Amino acid sequence: MKRISALLIVLVILSCKESVKENEKTKQTKSEIIENFTALVKNDVEDDNIDGSFSLAIIYKDSTLTLKSYRNANLNTIFRVGSISKSFPGFLMIQLQ
């Protein structure tokens, strides 16, 4: 019984060791993540022909890894309101109470 338990423990330890090695192989550095992110966004902007300007950020824990702005805005640039419009009716209902 002790041999079986010892063998089982050894097998569990060996299997965990392999998964750690696999994670180390696929682990990316912060600079690689930023480069991949920048390339992905640049390709999407070119493919989708996005009008207007926008900003994107990668935030990890308490630090900002990168903050990039794409395209330039001018007086004629039209921005979509997006989800922020949902807060206006809520604010107005609170004011009416």
pLDDT digits (tens, 9 = 90+) for 22-43: 555 567 788 888 888 888 888 8
Which of the residue ranges 10-14, 34-38, 53-57, 63-67 would you say has the lowest mean pLDDT? 10-14
This prediction's pTM: 0.44
Q: How far apart are CA 63 and CA 60, in angstroms?
A: 6
What Rg value do the Cα atoms of the chain yield, rounded? 25
> What is the structure's pLDDT at 81?
65
Q: Which tokens is 3 given?
A: 């041999």
Q: How far apart are CA 90 and CA 10, in angstroms?
A: 60
pLDDT digits (tens, 9 = 90+) for 50-60: 666 777 888 88
- CA-CA distances (angstroms) from residue 34 to 48, 55, 69, 86, 93? 21, 14, 14, 32, 42
